[in-house]
Amino acid sequence: MNQGRNSLWCAAIVAFSFALPACGRAEDLWANQPCDGKAAPVDGRFDHSAFDALLKRYVDASGMVDYRTWKEKDAARLDAYLDAAGCVDPSKLASDDERLAFFINVYNAVTIKGILHFYPTKSIREHTADGPGFNLWKNFYFRSPVKNYSLDAIENEVLRKMGEPRIHFGIVCASIGCPKLRNEAYVGSRVRDQLQDQGVAFFKDPSKFRLEAGDGRVSTSSILDWFGSDFGSDENARLKFIARFVEGPAKATLEKGGLKFKFLDYDWSLNEQRK
């Protein structure tokens, strides 16, 4: 992988609730905007309509993003959304579904913010150094009244612990190999249905899932390898999980089990609209 030793590793970028670390040390620089007494709405629901409007404007039906225009015209609106979200104590939200929608949206918004900062870029992997240096997944923080969350922490310490494996079809790492970025925000009242819809779209995509029953296998996205235990305790359980998102003869074949997994190469190229 290209480690992308970007010159901005040693430059602080302060915007609302975020800071890029100096020379790869996340603790070196941190700047928060004051919340001025803001808190979660009294009904326990956070308004994601600002993020929803941005997604509708810059993300197409295939989940591809117009990063160039977004950066030129509306980066500040994304900052404002994240600044407002950073004043919310997630524990004060009304339900698990509200928290689920909140953290999925925040994960996607923080990822987009990172890409907009580095854009133009070819891949998020240019900004996720495996060794010393800035790593967008580990060193770019979302600040809340409770704690500062990296993208890794949102995924692994919050969302995965909520017991909803379909989150893997909702959070998007700005890559073609990811699930498609939904061009609407998640909302607590519909988040489970939205995630189910995302799963159906994911397993309809032949670049992410192919049933090859004649060869006794299924070829799937590496997401089902990296997070395999989230989808079931063994291969047959994972096949039954996939069956929840497909119809017809394929569904029965998956439910029967006995197939082996082959994991497809992951496409880390940017999920960018090409014009």
Specify whether the CB–CB gap between 171 and 57 falls below 8 A: no
Q: 245 and 189, same structural domain?
A: no
Q: Which of 152, 170, 202 is the last residue of a domain?
A: 202
Residue 105 lies in a domain: yes
Q: Are residues 74 and 101 in the same domain?
A: yes
* Residues 211, 99 share a domain: no
Residue 39 has a pLDDT of: 58
Asked if 47 and 176 sit in the same domain, the reply is yes
pLDDT of 6 above 80? no
Last residue of one domain, picked from the residues 172, 202, 232:
202
Hey, which residues does 123 pair with through a beta bridge?
A: 269
Mean pLDDT of 183-201: 98
130's CB contacts (< 8 A; 6+ apart) are: 1, 3
Is it the case that residue 176 has pLDDT exceeding 70?
A: yes
Q: In whole angstroms, give the CA distance from residue 15 to residue 4.
A: 22
Q: What mean pLDDT comes out for the span 227-234?
A: 98
Are 161 and 103 within one domain?
yes
- The answer, yes or no, to whether residue 226 has pLDDT greater than 50, is yes
Let me know if residue 10 belongs to a domain: no
Q: Is the domain of 48 the same as that of 133?
A: yes
d(CA 96, CA 94): 7
Mean pLDDT across 169-194: 98
Q: Which residues contact 4 (CB under 8 A, 6 or more apart)?
A: 121, 125, 126, 127, 128, 129
Over residues 82-94, the pLDDT tens digits come to: 989 998 999 999 9
Q: What is the mean pLDDT of the chain?
A: 87
| 144, 206 contact by CB (below 8 A) | no
Residue type, 99: R
Give dist(CA 113, CA 140) in Å, integer.
Answer: 10
| One domain for residues 194 and 226 | no
For the cut 90, the answer to whether the pLDDT of residue 131 exceeds it is no
- Whether the pLDDT of residue 31 is over 60: the answer is no
Per DSSP bridges, beta strands 148-150 and 141-143 are antiparallel
- Answer yes or no: is 140 within a domain: yes
pLDDT of residue 166: 98
pLDDT value at 106 more than 60: yes
Q: Do both 151 and 52 map to the same domain?
A: yes
Q: By C-alpha distance, which of 106, 109, 83, 62 is closest to 274? A: 62
pLDDT at 119 over 90: yes
Last residue in a domain, options 182, 202, 222: 202
Strands 18-19 and 141-143: unpaired
Number of domains in the chain: 2
Q: What is the mean pLDDT of residues 159-163?
A: 98
Burial class (CB in 10 A: 0-12, 13-18, 19+), 224: buried
- Please report the pLDDT score of residue 143 as a whole number: 87
Domain that holds residue 173: 43-202
> What's the pTM?
0.89
The verdict on 95 and 194 lying in the same domain is yes
What pLDDT score was predicted for residue 40? 56
Q: Which of 102-106, 137-141, 153-157, 201-205 has the lowest mean pLDDT?
A: 137-141
